[in-house]
Structure formats: C-alpha cells, structure tokens
A and B are shown apart, each in its own frame.
Chain A
Amino acid sequence: MTEKTKSSDRTSRHPSRRDFMRTLVMVSGFVGASLMGLVPVVKGWVKRLRPPGALLEKDFLASCIKCGQCVQVCPVEAIKVADLVDGVGIGVPYIDPRQQACDFSCDGLQCVLACPTGALTHHINYPHAARMAVARIEHPDGCLARRGLGFKGQARGATFEGKLRYEEIDRWTPIPIRDHPYDLEVCDLCVRQCPIEIRIAQCEAGAPPAGDPNQCPPEPAIRLVETGEVDGRKTFTPEILSGCVGCGVCEMICPVEPAVIVMDEAGRGVLS
C-alpha cells in the first residue's frame, strides 16, 4: 500500500510556478462556480413563497443557513429545500402552495421556532402576523362561484396528495384533502378553508385556538361577495382582504385548473 503511493504523491515538494498557475485556475473555477449560484438570487428569477415569518427576500437569503430544520417540523410537509434549478439559493426553503400550502395546522409556527438563524423571524407569534405573499385572483373566469356553480367531490381529485387539518375531524393530524370530499351548493372552498377565516370564526364563536385570544386575527382575509344572478343562480366572487397572509391554502384548494387564485408578491416578508 505504502509503496504504491510514492510515485503519485508529491505534495511535500516546494510549489513551482506551474503549481501556482494551476492553483490560480482552480481558485477561479471554484469562485466562478459559486457565483453561478448568485445569478438567480440577483435576478430574483422565480419569486418563491417562503415559510411564515420569513424576512424580506434579501435578508432572508442572507440569513438562511440552509439546514432544513423548518422542513423537518412542518406537519403538512409544505416546506421544500430548493435545488439548483429552483431559481433560488440552493438549500433555501420554499413552499409550492398549489402542491401543499401552509395551513398553520401546527398553530405555534413550528418552522419559526425551529429556525436557528432568525431567517424566519421570532418576532411573529401568530399565523395572522405572517406576511408570506398576497392572494390575487389570476383566472377569474374559471371561478365556480362567479358562475353560480357549486362543488361536489374531492377538491383536487383522487390522486392529489396535499393535506389539510380539519379540526372537526382531527385537531392534531392533517389528512389528505382527497379523504375529505365536499358537497357545496355554491363553491366557497377558498373562503371556507382559509386558516385566517377559520380562526376568525372560532374567535367569534368564543373559542379561540388554544383558548388564546391573541390567536384571533384582527382583520379578515377573504370573503365571497354577491355579484348578481346567472340563469336564476346567485353568483359570487372571492375578494381578498387586508388580513391575507399569503399562506396559499386558497390556491391549493381551488378545484379548477388553473387555480383561480395565486400567491402574489411572494417574498414580501416580515420586516426584520
């Protein structure tokens, strides 16, 4: 073993000019490769939805240590770790709300508590204080309520894996949306499943989450507004209100393709 290595190991000799030039190339190569990762960060290619409590995008990218502890604690596994092609810093967490939104079913903002660097700031304590994005009505024509239609069945089909916590079923365990079919006269899924609206309703009923009145959101996030009548059916349109935190549940639950509501202004962040 030892004899074999003799010929190829020459690290102990003095560095030559050739070594030096070679080293210059290597150092430039490594630095160049690392700067490639900066291109999407600078350009902000794809604005990704960040976990609740995320600082403004620039501060968030600076402070994230890329450990994924937020990923590990999320009960609905909404948070993913970005890869090279995800247009943002490698190893940085993001949420793809159409696939799995943050439904705040942990109540206590577990990802914020898990974050070791404050990239998800500890300054927020309640879901309604998060500012992940703002919901925006992107494809109004697809909306069932605007056509006065109801919805019956599995909101996202039989194969969709996204989960929600339905408190009336199990307070502690989120279940797949496909296991919770709906039968609605007028489709109001975006309002019905909005985590902020659910909390407001609980507070109005005198039963705030965890018995803590601080959990009560100060402002509503979304409502259905009556717009008129079509073929004798009342029509409605969803309206996004100032209490929207951009969690993405409305985008996830929307049963039409493409989703009527999308998350906008992702990365608007919480001020540090």
Chain B
Amino acid sequence: MKALIESLAVMLGREPRRPAPEDISAPAQKIHEFKAATRDRDLSLHLKEERKKRASAPQTWRRRRWAVLIFVNLLFVFSYRLDIQLLEGALTGSRFVGFHMADLNAALQVMLAFKTLLINLLIGIITVFTLWWMLGGRTFCSWVCPYHLLSELADKLHLKLAEKKLVRNHTFDRRGRTWLWLIFAVLAFGTGYTVYETISPTGILSRALIYGPSLALVWVLALLVFEVVYSRRAWCRYGCPIGLTYGLVGIISPLQVKHTLDKCFFDGACRQVCLVPHVLNCTVKGRGRKVTATTGADCTRCGRCIDVCPTGALSFTFKGMGKSK
C-alpha cells in the first residue's frame, strides 16, 4: 500500500526520495551493506568490462515495440484505406472487429463536456480500461501512441545536437502535467467542449494518418522542434494528460518492470535512457527497498531499461503468472 501511494505521488510530480532506513527490508539492507563493502576496484573494473562488451546496447524491446506501434497504426490506416475493416475509427475511438473501444482520456473529456454517459461509450471505456490495466497502463504511450515514436526520433536528434553542444536540455517541474490534466478536465466541464483535443498530438497524428494530412500537424511539428532544441521528450514527460490517465489505469497492473536488487550495480544506464527516470528510483544506490521491486505507475513499459541494463537486473514480469516473489 505504501509503495502504491509512493508510486502515485511520484507520478503526480513529487520527486522520488531516499527511503527511510526502516522502510528498507532486512534482506535488501543486507545487499546494500554487502555492495557497500565490496565497492572496490574489482567491481568497477568488472563494470567497465561489461560496458565495453555492450558498447551498443541491444535494441530487442525497442524493435518489438516499434513493430507493434507501427502495426497498430497501420491497421487503423488499412482498415479504412483498404477497407479491411478490422480496426475502424481512430485512436480516440474505434471498433476492433465491431467491438467498441474508446480512448480513456478522450472518453473522459467527452463525458465531462457532454455530462451524459452513453452505453456504446461505456462499453468502449470498459474494454479499453481492462485491456490497458492488463498491459500496464502507460504501455499505451510507448507501444501505440504515434507521437511517442516521433518523439523518440526527436530525442535521438536532440542527443546528437547536445553532444555537439548545440542544444541543452531544460527540465520542467513534473507537476505541470498534473495541473494540465486538471485544467483540461475543468475546461471540458466548464465550456462543454473537448478543449484538449485541439492540441492532442495523439489524436491529430492518428487522424492525419487515417484521413490524410491536416494543418494541425504544424502543431505537432512545433512540439517536436521544442523537444529537439529545448527539452527532451517534453510533451510525454511534462505535458500529456493522456499519459497521466493511462498511468492511473496501470497503477495496479499485473504487467510490470521488475528490478532485482542483488543483480544491480547502480550503474544508472537505465535511468539515462528512461523517459520517466523517476520510476527507477530503486536503481539508485542505497534506495532499493526490497530485493525485488517493480517500477512505478508512470513507467511506460517501453523496455529500454531492460535492453540497456548490463547485468540483467531489470525484466518484464506479469504478476500471477510464472514464478514471482
């Protein structure tokens, strides 16, 4: 329960903390003590060797994820353009072989604006809620949202330019996203119009892919430029209310990224590739509370950390399936 509240608070914008000594379990404390005692040159040499071997980290999960993301979005496009009718509609609302699906954030906006709940929308909400609860909530972000893919590419460009000292990353207060979520909820209720949809890059991109390019893409481009020159992954990290909505869905999801303390060298490779590094607090030296822990609700289950971890301390886990501790 404590971990759950912590995970929610961190998602809403609080910075992760160093746990109090009494919050660290006895076996975890033992591991911390052992690692502190063996912090010698052997260990760091070993780490250096490992890093050298993995000069380029594997892209296994990224490749799988991009394949799924592109496949889902193409399924939307082909369902309309080639009339195969498997996945009709757009990411805001659709039918999968006739079964209603509604994007949870878009549905929330409509309900607040319209103040009436319709049965089809309710079916769509339940379907999508169940699906993303099972799959981890923000999994939607990294495995389906088309903006996420563009943003990842923009991030690559940002890192290249940052290396040449042409741009510098600026951070924002993560509470900004929580404010935006609340403001857009109030706006939808107050104005009776789904105000957020005007700037939703997810909706704009999805519709542009399916129904043809629109002028609204200029806004998406502006966001991407902002991310390249000013702040890495700014929209997904500090802005997007959709991310927060799905984050809330995934807070008790069975699909998690698992961290195994005794395998961790606190190297930090994971936090450097992570979109939401605050969920990897347990990988900071001395901060792991338990021998095995899961990343927080804000985690998009993108699997980049699993790819780059040189010691296999991170892995996907599905609670209730297979062996788990």
Q: Give chain A's interface residues, CB within 8 Å of chain B.
A: 1-2, 4-15, 19-20, 22-23, 26-27, 30-31, 33-38, 41, 58-59, 61-69, 71-73, 81, 83-85, 89-91, 114-118, 272
Contact = CB atoms under 8 A, between A and B. Distances in A.
B173 A83 contact: no
A59 to B, nearest CB: 7
B193 A66 contact: no
A240 B211 CA distance: 35
22 contacts: A2-B308, A5-B272, A8-B168, A27-B183, A30-B180, A31-B187, A34-B195, A37-B195, A62-B193, A62-B194, A64-B194, A66-B93, A68-B210, A69-B95, A81-B207, A81-B211, A89-B193, A91-B203, A91-B204, A116-B89, A116-B121, A117-B114
Given A62-B193, A72-B88, A116-B100, A37 B176 contact: no
B288 to A, nearest CB: 15
Contacts of A23: 172-173, 175-176, 238
Q: What are the 6 tightest A-B residue pairs by CB atom distance, in nearest-first order? A: A37-B198, A67-B93, A8-B169, A23-B173, A62-B113, A63-B114
Contact of B172 (A4, A7, A19): A19
Contacts of A69: 88-89, 93-95
B299 interface: no
Interface in B189-224: 191-199, 203-204, 207, 210-211, 214-216, 218-219
A91 B169 contact: no
B162 interface: yes
Contacts of A58: 192
Interface residues of B, number: 77
Interface string B167-191: 0111111111001100110010001
Given A67-B92, A68-B207, 18 more contacts: A1-B308, A2-B51, A2-B57, A4-B162, A8-B158, A11-B171, A12-B271, A12-B278, A37-B197, A37-B199, A61-B193, A66-B90, A66-B197, A72-B80, A81-B207, A81-B214, A89-B197, A115-B120
B215 to A, nearest CB: 5
B56 A1 contact: yes
Contacts of A59: 114
Given A27-B179, A84-B215, A34 B196 contact: yes
Contact of B203 (A30, A66, A72): A66
B314 interface: no
Contact of B239 (A10, A22, A26, A41): A26
B193 A41 contact: yes
B116 interface: yes
Nearest to A41: B193
A67 B89 contact: yes
Interface in B145-164: 158-159, 162-163
B106 interface: yes
B250 interface: no
A238 B168 CA distance: 68
Contacts of A89: 193-194, 197-198
B3 interface: no
B277 interface: yes
B209 to A, nearest CB: 11
B238 A33 contact: no
Given A11-B278, A61-B193, A72 B158 contact: no
B15 interface: yes
Given A26-B234, A65-B92, A68-B210, A4 B159 contact: yes
Contact of A63 (B89, B116, B163): B116
Interface in B289-313: 308
Nearest to B198: A37
A15 B278 CA distance: 12
B171 A7 contact: no
Contacts of B193: 38, 41, 61-62, 89
A62 B237 CA distance: 28
B247 interface: no
Nearest to B123: A116
A19 B175 CA distance: 11
Contacts of A27: 176, 179-180, 183
Contacts of A12: 15-16, 271, 277-278
Contacts of B90: 66-68
Contacts of A272: 116
A16 to B, nearest CB: 9
B168 A26 contact: no
B272 A26 contact: no
Contacts of B219: 33
A35 B124 contact: no
A15 B14 CA distance: 9
A7 B169 CA distance: 9
Contact of B216 (A7, A68, A83): A83
A232 to B, nearest CB: 52
